[in-house]
Structure 1
Amino acid sequence: MKLVKSLLLGSAAGIAAVAGAHAADLPSRKSAPVEYVRVCSAYGAGFFYIPGTDTCLRVGGRVRAEYAVGTRFGDFQDSYGTRARGRLNIDARTATAYGTLRTFFRYELTNNSGIYNVGAITPFNTGIVVPGTTRAFSSTGSSPNLDLAFIQFGPITAGRAQSFFDFYANDYNFASTRTSDTRLNLLAYTATFGSGFSATISAEDRVSGTSNRELPGVTFNPNTGAFGAAVVQGQDFPDLVGSLRVDQGWGSAQLSGAVGQRKYAVGNTIVAGLAPVDGDEMVWAIQGGVKINLPMLAAGDNLILQAAYADGALGYLGWYPGSFGVGRLGALTLADASINTLTGSVNNSSGFSLVAALKHYWTPQLRTEITASYSELKLKYNNAGTFGAFPRSLDPKEYNIAANLIWSPVSGLDIGVEVLYTHLDIRNQVGVVDNFNNRSTILGIKNDDALAGRFRIQRDF
């Protein structure tokens, strides 16, 4: 009996051992490792590591709603307008042995109506409109915009970025503040020297700039005052921009300059025997600006002062196509240069602008920015306008004053009101454009004003 029991126990033990051995040989099913999203603190708030990579990503954007009213000059214009804008930002950065590799793009979609969508008036300035524009034309419009798209690798910046000529470029879209605020296609190299000092050289394509920051040329006959459009020819090279900059605890300062080429042509039929005119002119601009932090007033306070001069490239002053003409003055011609159809000479327009901006925080949630600009242009052509038939130079002088009051009850949310006053003087009288009848009168004026107000709600994330 004992022998039988021993045999049974031994057999059971053997079977258990064999079964265990076979079980160990079977494949096991293990759960895959979970890749959790990790916070990336190297580049500031909002960045996280893309799973499986060493690249940090931040996704952000903006939604803005605006409601504006402005000076109305006739029944053919709206006295109000609305705007809805959505913005998406993608920022990806990777640390490398050569420095940070950054890729950034910003895409916007905008819908405008009324005074936001009148003609080609850029940048926004309610009150400065093309007289006689019908509501059917200006009622609404939607537009996509690739605002920024660039790569930064060490000292190199390539793609669509803010011009390195710019210094004060505000985000309030008062915009008739005469300052260069341009995003365009460029290729730049920035050298850093320590203690906040840097220098940049940039090749910039002005034709690719926001709203085409290049003014056309015109032709004129000094005997009759007749003028027309000149043919803009292709450039041999993009504008070259250089800047010296310092950023320190007290604030920042920048000195920038630009040089470029403009080519114009016109078939000369005024004087028999003269060959067609072909003009090739160099243009240039220079600008200096300083930003002074004012923590003794309140945290975040600062004062910005800026001055610029341009010869043959008025876009560097913030004067753009369609931006000349206030109310009853009409859409007067503004050009970078003119060609004399009798002599064939090409003459550049020139001008300067002065800008001041003060930002003050009344409380951490309540702030105000006040901006002012003054500019003068010397236009090298005679514009008879709509008054009389004799040659005249208009040479506009303009000043703008704008202010806002913005409340930020929670982080990323702005609710506020903004006002803008614009005054324009020209050298000689032009005919008053009667917008109610959509015609010009023989009465002449030399200046006009515009007033605008806006309510804005904006969420940044």
Structure 2
Amino acid sequence: MTIRSVILGACAGLLTVGVAAAADLPMTKGEAVEYVKVCSAFGPGFFYIPGSDTCLQISGQIRADYWYQSVPDPAANKRNINQTQFRTNARIRFDARTQTDYGLLRSFFELQAESNAGTAPPFGTGVHDTFTVRQAYLQFGGLTAGFAWSPYAFYDPKYQAEFFAPYFGEQGRRDLISYTAQFDKAFATLSIEDNRDHRAGTTFGNSGTLNGVAINTEGGSQVPDIVGVIGYDDNKTGWGRVQVMGALHQNRSALAAYGSDWGYSVGAAGNINFPVLSGAYIAAEGSYSEGAVKYLGVGGSQPSGSSLLSFGGADVYASTVAPFDLDRAKGWAIQAEAGLKFTDQLQAVLFGGYLDYDAPNIATSATADFHYYVIGGQVNYTVVKGFIAGAEVWYQNKDPNGGGTTVTANPRDTADSVGAGVRLRRTF
């Protein structure tokens, strides 16, 4: 027997012993990996949160805006007004949904970050960045509670193609609790909303004092706004949607001598789809208000480029002499747009709006009344899926009524402006 044979035999023996010992060791299995699964119950983009039956969708967008707007001829300090402006806006949304035995349980959360050089007229100096909650609400069946679009609003959350041009109608989100009853395609909604969210201004319009207290001091919220909507929605399969809406709004003075005054707003809105033209539609919203002019868009936050082009105004005006009372401002507004899809990549939109604001006779400024209209259009081109380039042009005109002393050289002059801009938008 050679040394080589001895070594080979020893190695074989050791391997045999090792295999036998390994067979006696306890066997363990790797833990199962739970992969993210697609949730198809609520449309594309949803996935199951691991370990739960809740579906989550994460989406968002980033917008880069660049625009120019001319300055009205009668504007004071014209050289201090920004005519070119840049703005960057980013949004991210979280939409979590769970189907329960009692209906859909949903929570929606949208954050917005924005960087700009100040769009508030007339100066807009100093770069400022903001980080805000744009929406945050929960839904359970027909119940909606949180910070969400008022059901009164139709044009703004569902259409509102405007990039930069001002527009009229109920705008923004409100703190509310509402319930919607669904009857096939018909629906009815009752909403209780924070009164402070619907105030057109911080004062009652007139200046003066009573017993050393400013008469235009607004009192604390006592009664929330009451909003009701009824309508018919056939957008998913048919011609469109129509709704009528109404709202009650309390105006309450901080001074007991003035008491309170109830304002209201009523309106109608809807859209029509044209199936013979792919992607073609018309949408409109109109309202009439007394003492609740925020529902017309008065006091809105759209950039206007100059204080002469802003359309602020109070809900009510306080008389400066006895008998002390609150007189309601009146107004009406209509906003509409029409869209046409030429190809899968190219779409055009035309829009326009008109606002008439009428302050009561006790208003200290005879130029408190005004008419306002806006017309414009835009084109949008989808470069690749999720990336859209758009361009917009518009003209806006504010016509004050009566005389009085204002910042203009001639208070009867019409203030008008033209603007143009581009928007680059990435959605995901």
In structure 2, the residue matched to 1:247 is 233
Partners of 2:205 and 2:363 within 8 A in 1: no
Deviations 1:128-163 (A, max 9, x none): x33xx3xxx523221112110010111111111111
From the superposition, tell whether residues 411 and 204 of structure 1 become closer, same or farther in structure 2 (CA, over 3 Å): same
Q: How far apart are the structure 2 equivalents of 1:118 and 1:404? A: 21
Q: TM-score, normalised by structure 1?
A: 0.79
Written as runs of structure 1 = structure 2, the 5 A alignment for 1:59-74 is 59-72=58-71, 73=75, 74=78
Q: Deviation at 1:428? A: 1.4
**Counterpart residue type for residue 412 of structure 2:** I
Is 1:363 the counterpart of 2:330 in the alignment? no
Is 1:150 the counterpart of 2:130 in the alignment? no
**Counterpart residue type for residue 180 of structure 1:** E
From the superposition, tell whether residues 101 and 325 of structure 1 become closer, same or farther in structure 2 (CA, over 3 Å): closer
In structure 1, the residue matched to 2:196 is 207
Q: How far apart are the structure 2 equivalents of 1:78 and 1:324? A: 11
Q: How far apart are the structure 2 equivalents of 1:87 and 1:323? A: 18
In structure 2, the residue matched to 1:259 is 248
- Three-state SS of the structure 2 residue aligned to 1:53 is coil
In structure 2, the residue matched to 1:308 is 287
Partners of 1:430 and 1:446 within 8 A in 2: no
- Three-state SS of the structure 2 residue aligned to 1:75 is helix
1:429 aligned to 403, 407, 410, which one? 403
Deviations 1:333-371 (A, max 9, x none): 621111112120110101001222101111111111111
In structure 1, the residue matched to 2:13 is none
Q: How far apart are the structure 1 equivalents of 2:200 and 2:399? A: 23
Q: Deviation at 1:409? A: 1.9
Written as runs of structure 1 = structure 2, the 5 A alignment for 1:30-49 is 30-49=29-48
Q: How far apart are the structure 2 equivalents of 1:407 and 1:318? A: 29
2:222 aligned to 217, 227, 236, which one? 236
In structure 2, the residue matched to 1:176 is 166
Written as runs of structure 1 = structure 2, the 5 A alignment for 1:93-112 is 93-112=97-116
In structure 1, the residue matched to 2:299 is 320
From the superposition, tell whether residues 202 and 255 of structure 1 become closer, same or farther in structure 2 (CA, over 3 Å): same
From the superposition, tell whether residues 332 and 177 of structure 1 become closer, same or farther in structure 2 (CA, over 3 Å): closer
Partners of 2:309 and 2:398 within 8 A in 1: no
Q: How far apart are the structure 2 equivalents of 1:264 and 1:333? A: 19
- Three-state SS of the structure 2 residue aligned to 1:316 is helix
From the superposition, tell whether residues 69 and 393 of structure 1 become closer, same or farther in structure 2 (CA, over 3 Å): closer
From the superposition, tell whether residues 320 and 175 of structure 1 become closer, same or farther in structure 2 (CA, over 3 Å): farther
From the superposition, tell whether residues 321 and 355 of structure 1 become closer, same or farther in structure 2 (CA, over 3 Å): closer
**Counterpart residue type for residue 258 of structure 2:** D
Q: How far apart are the structure 1 equivalents of 2:343 and 2:312? A: 45
Deviations 1:396-451 (A, max 9, x none): 01111121011012222110111121111111135574xxxxxx64x443311011
From the superposition, tell whether residues 186 and 305 of structure 1 become closer, same or farther in structure 2 (CA, over 3 Å): same
Q: TM-score, normalised by structure 2?
A: 0.85
Q: How far apart are the structure 2 equivalents of 1:398 and 1:423? A: 6
Deviations 1:160-191 (A, max 9, x none): 11111011111534452112122111101110
In structure 1, the residue matched to 2:370 is 396
In structure 1, the residue matched to 2:211 is none
Deviations 1:20-40 (A, max 9, x none): 89956x532110011111111
Deviations 1:213-260 (A, max 9, x none): 555312357xxxxxx761110122210111012111110011111112
Q: How far apart are the structure 1 equivalents of 2:98 and 2:165? A: 35
From the superposition, tell whether residues 430 and 186 of structure 1 become closer, same or farther in structure 2 (CA, over 3 Å): same
Written as runs of structure 1 = structure 2, the 5 A alignment for 1:132-151 is 133=123, 138-151=125-138
% same residue: 30
From the superposition, tell whether residues 92 and 326 of structure 1 become closer, same or farther in structure 2 (CA, over 3 Å): closer
Is 1:159 the counterpart of 2:158 in the alignment? no
Q: How far apart are the structure 2 equivalents of 1:220 and 1:323? A: 26
For these two proteins, the number of residue pairs brought into alignment is: 394
Is 1:459 the counterpart of 2:422 in the alignment? no
Partners of 1:324 and 1:334 within 8 A in 2: no
- Three-state SS of the structure 1 residue aligned to 2:295 is helix
- Three-state SS of the structure 2 residue aligned to 1:207 is helix
In structure 2, the residue matched to 1:353 is 333
Q: Deviation at 1:307? A: 1.5
Is 1:336 the counterpart of 2:326 in the alignment? no
Partners of 1:158 and 1:186 within 8 A in 2: yes
Q: Deviation at 1:322? A: 7.3
Q: Deviation at 1:279? A: 2.3
1:187 aligned to 174, 177, 181, which one? 177
Partners of 1:308 and 1:353 within 8 A in 2: yes
Written as runs of structure 1 = structure 2, the 5 A alignment for 1:278-289 is 278-289=258-269
From the superposition, tell whether residues 428 and 332 of structure 1 become closer, same or farther in structure 2 (CA, over 3 Å): farther
Q: Deviation at 1:289? A: 0.9
2:186 aligned to 158, 174, 197, which one? 197
Query: Which stretches in structure 1 are left out of the alignment for 5+ residues?
Result: 1-15, 120-128, 222-227, 267-275, 386-391, 434-439
Q: How far apart are the structure 2 equivalents of 1:324 and 1:41? A: 40
- Three-state SS of the structure 1 residue aligned to 2:294 is helix
In structure 2, the residue matched to 1:388 is none
Partners of 2:165 and 2:302 within 8 A in 1: no
In structure 1, the residue matched to 2:9 is none
Q: Deviation at 1:306? A: 2.2
C-alpha RMSD of the superposition: 2.6
Q: Deviation at 1:296? A: 1.4
Q: How far apart are the structure 2 equivalents of 1:277 and 1:111? A: 45
Moved more, 279-288 or 170-179: 170-179
Q: Deviation at 1:277? A: 2.5
Partners of 2:400 and 2:411 within 8 A in 1: no
Q: Deviation at 1:394? A: 3.3
**Counterpart residue type for residue 79 of structure 2:** D
